Amino acid sequence: MEIIAKAPPNGYTIGTGNLLTLAVNRSVLPRLPYDPAHLQAVVLYTYVPLLLAVTVSLPVKSVQELIDHARRNPGKLLFASSGNATTTHVSGELFKLMTGTNMVHVPFKGSVVAITDLTAGRVNVMFDNIPSIGRHVKAGKVRGLAVTTAKRVPAYPDLPTVAEAGVQGYEVTGWGGLIVPGATPKSIVARLNTEINEALPHVVEKLTSLGSEVAGGTPEQFAELIRKETIKWADVVKRAGIKID
């Protein structure tokens, strides 16, 4: 992000930004080495749904059963993430806030090691990106309970959304998009936006097979998403006391 923000605004330095780097990090990092205003949104190119899964040894088979179990056993369930303040962490904290449950966060150094402990039963619960955890659900190594998006995910049609399963208003979606230095001319931003939007239909099948979704749209729509997500997660970070340590 720092390299992109400080690069010459000539259209030849472009990069990818996501939920963490463009929204969450503003609230959890004491100082950013760049000014987010020095980045310009070009186009949102993908949505990445998350999936709520539990270890198969946990005696719950639905979101409501998980909530009930957690309430009966406050502080005993361990929920894993790929690290402090990651999407997999903040999604679990939002779930705890909205359900009034108390689960202990266990941050790992990446999803791979977290999923390994989830399959082994050393941790109980995890919210993770579908491209990462999905194959383990399909293989029966962990039990999928729900997806975190507002709508069901075509690749997992039998899984309800967390909201459908009883936590009304719950929604978390990872996302990624193209960004450039903030002073990049509008004509260059428009050209990049057009080219990416025209290319996206060619990768729909591949992204869908991985559990992701193709996005697209205007620079203004992407900028508005960043604005809304920054406000949403700043509130969650404050209420949950999330910190980088």
What dihedral angle (degrees, nearest 10) is formed by the CA atoms of 14, 19, 232, 230? -30
Minimal CA–CA distance to 162: which of 89, 64, 237, 57? 64
Rounded-to-integer distance, Cα 96 and Cα 66, Å: 11
Rounded-to-integer distance, Cα 11 and Cα 83, Å: 33
61-77 pLDDT per residue, tens:
999 999 999 999 999 99
pLDDT-derived band at 245, boundaries 50, 70, 90: low
Average pLDDT over the chain, rounded to an integer: 93
Domain 2-47+172-240 superfamily per CATH: Bordetella uptake gene, domain 1 (3.40.190.150)
Rounded-to-integer distance, Cα 75 and Cα 62, Å: 19
Please report which helix (H) or strand (E) contains residue 171, including its range.
Answer: none
Minimal CA–CA distance to 46: which of 173, 230, 194, 190? 173
Residue 37: its pLDDT value, please?
75
Q: CATH number of the domain at 50-147, please?
A: 3.40.190.10
The answer, yes or no, to whether residue 105 has pLDDT greater than 80, is: yes
Helical pair 219-240 and 87-99, crossing angle rounded to 10 deg: 60
Residue 207: its pLDDT value, please?
84
Rounded-to-integer distance, Cα 8 and Cα 86, Å: 29
116, with CB counted inside 10 A (0-12, 13-18, 19+), is middle
187, with CB counted inside 10 A (0-12, 13-18, 19+), is exposed
The values of phi and psi at residue 241, to 5°, are 65, 35
- Do the beta carbons of residue 78 and residue 123 sit within 8 Å? yes
Residue 229: its pLDDT value, please?
95
Rounded-to-integer distance, Cα 210 and Cα 17, Å: 20
Averaged pLDDT for residues 195-223: 91
- Do the beta carbons of residue 29 and residue 244 sit within 8 Å? yes
- Do the beta carbons of residue 127 and residue 106 sit within 8 Å? no
The answer, yes or no, to whether residue 155 has pLDDT greater than 80, is: yes
Given this chain, do its domains 2-47+172-240 and 50-147 carry the same CATH topology? Answer: yes
DSSP state, 162? T
Domain ranges for the chain, please list them.
2-47+172-240, 50-147
Residue 210: its pLDDT value, please?
77
The values of phi and psi at residue 144, to 5°, are -80, 135
Averaged pLDDT for residues 189-217: 91
